[in-house]
Amino acid sequence: MSAIIQVEALSKAYSYKLALKQVSFEVERQSFVGILGHNGSGKSTLIKLLCGLSKPTHGRITIGGWSIPQELGAVRAQLGLVSHALMLSPMLTARENLRFYGRLYDVPALDERINSLLETVGLTRFADQAIKTFSRGMQQRLSIARAFLHDPSILLLDEPFTGLDQTASTMLINLLEQAQAQGRTIVMVTHQVELALQYCDRLLVLSRGQLQYAGQATDFSLAQYEEILRR
């Protein structure tokens, strides 16, 4: 398998604080990678850099052969982001939200695509309801549909399980497994170590902005993680 994401000697500084220090790793196509670390370890900074929402202070990021920030337009078309935040307009209906984002990405046969995604996430019945009336689980399912809308090859997930109940979490896991089976690469930032150990192929562990572990999830344990956090 070839690398779809390549990160070389990446550093990011905010004023005088170095949020990421010389981080290098590769993510292979169709893999499910978990990024672990405590608060302030640099996980969210890394996701922002991968999305091109923030410019690296040093280093190089290549996604699908395109460089960030030079070829940002091409990179963005390949990315889908799901975060713990809604990233949707609460006053609009589920269908209006998806139509808006679909048009921004110029998705072909948009109405068919929206219907199919609403069915996948189990929201067909609620398609024409304003999403402010949705439960947190329903909103997150719609958020996933939004991220899948333009058929991205890479899904970036920033704490996607925050605030989800057991049913919604299970549904999200199923959707992610389906996405991986369909050939998508998944990069997930999470606090939930057990979850990452269970579902991810590879893990990246960050502590104080430095990469402390990059390897197979099967070779990593909860004890090792706690040891890294204690250092």
Partner 1 sequence: MTPLFWRACWLIFRKDWLQEQRSRELISLMTLFGLLSTLTFSFALQLDRLSRVESVSGILWVTILFAMILGMDRSAGNDRENETFLAILLSPIPRAAIFIGKSIANGLFALTIGAILIGLMTFLYNLPLLQPMIFLILLLLVVGLSSVGTLLATMTVQTRSRSTLLPIVMLPTALPLVLAAVSATIPLIAQSDVNNSIAMWIQLMAVLDAVYFTLAVLLFDFVVEE
Residue ranges in contact with partner 1 by CB under 8 A:
14, 48, 51, 53-55, 73-74, 76-77, 79, 81, 83, 85-92, 96, 100-101, 103-106, 130, 146
- How far is 125 from 122, CA to CA, in rounded Å? 8
- How far is 80 from 176, CA to CA, in rounded Å? 12
Q: How far is the CB of 89 from partner 1 (least distance, A)?
A: 5
- How far is 68 from 201, CA to CA, in rounded Å? 25
Distance of alpha carbon 73 from the chain centroid:
18
Cβ closest to partner 1, residue 74 vs residue 195: 74
Cβ closest to partner 1, residue 9 vs residue 53: 53
- Inter-CA distances, 143 with 27, 114, 118, 174, Å: 24, 13, 11, 15
Neighbours of 59 (CB within 10 A): 17
Q: How far is the CB of 159 from partner 1 (least distance, A)?
A: 12
Neighbours of 179 (CB within 10 A): 20
Q: How far is the CB of 69 from partner 1 (least distance, A)?
A: 9
Q: How far is the CB of 96 from partner 1 (least distance, A)?
A: 7
Cβ closest to partner 1, residue 19 vs residue 228: 19
Q: How far is the CB of 141 from partner 1 (least distance, A)?
A: 16
E strands, 15-102, are 17-28, 32-36, 58-63, 66-68, 79-83
Cβ closest to partner 1, residue 21 vs residue 202: 21
Q: Which run of H or E residues covers position 121?
A: none
| Coil vs helix vs strand at 216 | strand
Q: How far is the CB of 216 from partner 1 (least distance, A)?
A: 30
What is the DSSP code (8-state) at residue 41? S
Cβ closest to partner 1, residue 113 vs residue 202: 113
Q: Which run of H or E residues covers position 78?
A: helix 72-78
Cβ closest to partner 1, residue 92 vs residue 173: 92
